[in-house]
Amino acid sequence: MNQQQRSALLHSSSLFPPPPGVKLSYGTAGFRADASLLESTVFRVGILAALRSIQTGSVIGLMITASHNQVSDNGVKIADPSGGMLTQLWEPFADAIANAPDPNSLLQLLDDFVKKENITLEGGPAARVLLGRDTRPSGASLVEAAKQGITCITGGTAIDVGVLTTPQLHWMVRAKNKGVEASEHHYYDQIVTSFSYLMDNIPRENSSKDVNDKLIVDGADGVGGEKLEKLKSSLKYLSIDVRNYGDGVLNEGVGADYVQKEKVVPRGFGPSDAGIRCASLDGDADRLVYFSVLSNSNKIDLVDGDKILSLFALFLKEQLRILDDKANTSSYKASLGVVQTAYANGASTEYLKQLGLEVVLTPTGVKYLHEKAAEYDIGIYFEANGHGTILFSETFLSWLENINNELSSTSKGSDQHKAASNLLAVSKLINQAVGDALSGLLLVEAILQHMGWSIQKWNELYQDLPSRQLKVKVVDRTAVITGNAETVVVSPVGIQEAIDAEIAKYTKGRCFVRPSGTEDVVRVYAEASTQEAADSLAHSVMVIVHQFLWF
């Protein structure tokens, strides 16, 4: 690092002192905290993004959002060149620089890291970072801090793409690095075109009375609602009523996280919506759940991420089967895999296995699910909370393109041809970079129309086991170390035996605890054959967590 670069770093970082006594960790979704604590962190993540861009010779993304957290929080995360999450190899360094106490120790860390990672600061490619943010009021000033971080690396360019959903930013990073058109307009163009294509391909006999074109969407008073309100007029065959698209307080009594955890209607919905298909996005539109309002009540029937996954899996399996039926073309045995976390409802896992699908569990966090799903030709991953997507391998996609062309000339309009083109359309509609509520919603809508299913019919695929999630405040949540995709606690010693003894008291009992990656709590999840039993199991395990960790 030359002298000019060193002075630039020392000078700029002295303008962004870290708040005293705050220790931050990159977590499951980047850094998150009260927005007033984040300027220094975002500035430093700007530096990190610039270094990552130089090292990879690619465009990197930096997103300012705290997703479903309350409006006074904010957060920052990095999108790697593929559009996926920052490589896990860099996370410890992200933690180290975020927590460096002063400009000199920050400079020392950067100097060592640049050497260790062979990052060429002079004469190599210049850093290019796409900067996006959600609608939080604190976003604008945090974007300025990020710009300072990016540009204090010599030659670094910050490209401010304004207010976007998190998945749009990830999509743009991926598109830019593939050398294709990457504006927000192109994003809409791609999803609207592939959605229309799927809708046009629907077998006429399935356009039944069971499924109508009306959908009500809760936009969480965030960026997703705002974007969908603008997008909806270009969606043929679908009539969307968007509520909560920006007038109320972000995530307050609204949004996918609220709906999924509380199982009640979001603000602006009520008994008059009973029976209608409804969906809810989270604050940055990377989560999606569906629900229907029960008559004369504020309660809902929740259709969560596990059921979205099941719907996608059914449809894709069917398309692959139809494609496989044809004998006249070179065959390709595409691998189809399903990836969940321990939070997936046990009934969903059982249902998916009964369909003959391969189901794998990973620890919580998109990075783990995504990595695993990428091992298949078609990998579908979803968290119960509604974050997920479908990944297609390059090999499979190029085979599919060829077959589609072949079928288009030999048997245009045949079932096989439609199956091939449906699969291609899904790969274009669904975000290949990260879970995306807007494109996920359009795929759900297209499949429901294709099946001729109402939301009630979809919800009947299987019956969820009653479950309960609790948060426990402890002195130090990092004292909880888990194993086996977070299904068991390895440390503190003895706690797992105590949990097992509780689980054994319940029919269909299942329970696990893990430290949250986004909040300062330990989470408890319990499942059992009745709601009372699930509540009671969760509660007893919460007491155990207290006993072992409140010292």
Active site residues: 67
Dihedral over Cα of 421, 426, 429, 433: its sign = negative
Q: Residue 364's binding partner, choosing from ligand NG1, Zn ion, none, with beta-carbon cut-off 5 to 8 A by kind?
A: ligand NG1
**Residue 413: CB partners within 8 Å, gap ≥ 6?**
none
Give φ, ψ of 303 to 5 degrees.
-115, 100
Residue 262 sits in the site that holds ligand NG1 (CB under 6 A): no
Contact 82, 433 (CB under 8 A): yes
Residue 69 sits in the site that holds ligand NG1 (CB under 6 A): no
Nearer to Zn ion, 39 or 284 (CB): 284
Could you give the string, one character per residue 472-511, with x where binding to ligand NG1 holds by CB under 6 A and - elsewhere? ----------------------------------------
Residue 345 sits in the site that holds ligand NG1 (CB under 6 A): no
Q: Which of 253, 268, 346, 517 binds ligand NG1 (CB under 6 A)?
A: 517
Cα 501 to Cα 343, 360, 482, 498, 538: the distances in Å are: 20, 26, 18, 5, 13
Secondary structure E strands in 295-365: 300-303, 336-341, 358-362
Q: Which of 5, 40, 67, 422 binds Zn ion (CB under 5 A)?
A: 67
Q: Which of 41, 251, 496, 518 binds ligand NG1 (CB under 6 A)?
A: 518
Stretch that binds ligand NG1, among 37-45, 56-64, 193-201, 380-388 (CB under 6 A): 380-388
Rounded distance between C-alpha atoms, residue 468 and residue 525, angstroms: 6
Q: Is 203 annotated as a binding residue?
A: no
Q: Which of 134, 284, 445, 527 binds Zn ion (CB under 5 A)?
A: 284
Shortest distance, CB of residue 381 to ligand NG1, whole angstroms?
11
Q: Residue 517's binding partner, choosing from Zn ion, ligand NG1, none, with beta-carbon cut-off 5 to 8 A by kind?
A: ligand NG1
Cα 228 to Cα 71, 430, 436, 484: the distances in Å are: 20, 16, 12, 39
Q: Is 282 annotated as a binding residue?
A: yes
Q: Residue 282's binding partner, choosing from ligand NG1, Zn ion, none, with beta-carbon cut-off 5 to 8 A by kind?
A: Zn ion
Contact 512, 480 (CB under 8 A): no
Nearer to ligand NG1, 19 or 517 (CB): 517
Q: Which of 56, 105, 154, 516 binds ligand NG1 (CB under 6 A)?
A: 516
Q: Which DSSP category does 193 fall into?
A: H
Q: Is 384 annotated as a binding residue?
A: yes
Residue 67 sits in the site that holds ligand NG1 (CB under 6 A): yes
**DSSP string of 141-174?**
HHHHHHHHHHHTSTT-EEEEEEE--HHHHHHHHH
Shortest distance, CB of residue 478 to Zn ion, whole angstroms?
23
3-class DSSP state of 78: strand
3-class DSSP state of 302: strand
Binding residues (CB under 6 A) for ligand NG1: these are 28-29, 67, 343, 364, 383, 385, 387, 516-519, 523
Residues near Zn ion, by CB under 5 A: 67, 282, 284, 286
